[in-house]
Structure 1
């Protein structure tokens, strides 16, 4: 039987790349050091690909490091790779840039719509302070928020999903089969969520299913299967409304 979005009662979300436009935020935050060096040859695609490499490497090397410090280290790696000059202020500003990363235009409206039908949960790779700043752009109150700061590790570590599933079961009485994990990143989310046995909805912001770029996300050698696929969150919310408004099957 074909699964329906309305078969689930809980949506667990990745935030950055799914709800918050982290690629625009990252690229904007790299502009000060590029401008300071008069650098015009590094394109957005090149810069984001380098970020993806450095972030995943740094997260694996220092899983307990808070995200602002981790971003600062990523900035240091970036300037070293491209032979740029930086200083402590530029490195620190990049590390503290998360609160300035914008929400996608459809995120707030779609989340408010989805909140009428689901409990909403965050599983994010940032710290609580960074997410609190982003949350003010999203227009809803989440039922639970779990970050890498809680777990001392970053996705795609499988333990992050185990932690979330256990907390939702023990603290909120939510069974895994009620959960639909909703995310953009195949690397950070869909691969480990599939190993955790969760149903998955791919918000394909980058158009990867149509041959788009990996952007600021590390590549995976084999694309995991997903249960649902939408190009944006607005499309998902529209499908939920359509299912809810459909007459019952006879």
Structure 2
């Protein structure tokens, strides 16, 4: 029986692309580079996400918080655009754009309904401070604030899923991952988790070509968190 719903966050719970673009636009303009498309900037920053985590997953680098990886990728991206010697307070503000992302419109109401029957927590590659600040700003009603420090691993490494269940005192079979990404769900299922797919067809912008639909027979497939709550009897 499912007791906990654990959520992928970037893309599933929050709209990272528009949020990062919103935060980046005025800073880029203030740095004299208002010519840079803020959405393209967000996409390029995000493109460094998986390669940076792969250094950890492969064992080539010790576990490193996502805030640090984001900062390193940001410095590389700014240098690529010829932007150097940025004041440290500005760098901190820009790097923590990921802490200030907006939830999709259905999220808060959907989570509130789901919380009446299930334990809710993030199962994200983001670190605890990032998840905490995001939740406080966006009003996300988590029962526990978990981050990648809990597992010392990044998805889709099995430890990321199994250690999260363990710290909640649950078996994998008592946990269900809710995600907009088929690969994430496949990794969770391989660890014994239940699975729920919620499509976010605009996560990567108007040209998105992946994760537009469920690619396997997941335990639940829903159009949004409200529909998932209905399907789960909340």
Alpha-carbon spacing, 1:133–1:193, altered in 2? closer, same or farther (3 Å): same
What's the offset of the Cα at 1:239?
A: 2.7
Q: Distance between the aligned counterparts of 1:229 and 1:160, measured in 2?
A: 23
What's the offset of the Cα at 1:64?
A: 2.0
- List per-residue Cα deviations over 1:136-187 (Å, max 9, x = no partner): 2234241x4431122333222222112123333xx3xx33222221012335
Return the TM-score normalized by structure 2. 0.79
Q: Which runs of 5+ in 2 are unaligned?
A: 56-60
Match of 1:183 in 2: 179
1:237 is aligned to 2:233: no
Match of 2:141 in 1: 140
Check whether the contact 1:124–1:147 (CA below 8 A) recurs between aligned residues: yes
What's the offset of the Cα at 1:201?
A: 0.7
Q: What does residue range 35-74 of structure 1 map to in structure 2 within 5 Å? A: 35=29, 36-40=31-35, 42=37, 44=39, 46-61=40-55, 62=61, 64-74=63-73
What's the offset of the Cα at 1:196?
A: 1.4
Aligned length: 221
Check whether the contact 1:123–1:147 (CA below 8 A) recurs between aligned residues: yes
Alpha-carbon spacing, 1:180–1:29, altered in 2? closer, same or farther (3 Å): same
Match of 1:15 in 2: 9
1:127 is aligned to 2:121: no
Q: Which runs of 5+ in 1 are unaligned?
A: 1-6, 245-250
Alpha-carbon spacing, 1:227–1:160, altered in 2? closer, same or farther (3 Å): same
Secondary structure of 2:48's aligned partner? helix
Check whether the contact 1:33–1:86 (CA below 8 A) recurs between aligned residues: no
Q: Distance between the aligned counterparts of 1:237 and 1:158, measured in 2?
A: 27
Q: State the superposition RMSD in angstroms.
A: 2.9
Match of 2:58 in 1: none
Q: What does residue range 1-250 of structure 1 map to in structure 2 within 5 Å? A: 8-35=2-29, 36-40=31-35, 42=37, 44=39, 46-61=40-55, 62=61, 64-85=63-84, 87-89=86-88, 90-136=90-136, 137-142=138-143, 144-168=144-168, 171=169, 174-187=170-183, 189-206=184-201, 213=208, 225=216, 226-241=218-233
The 4+ residue runs of structure 1 with deviation greater than 6 A are: none
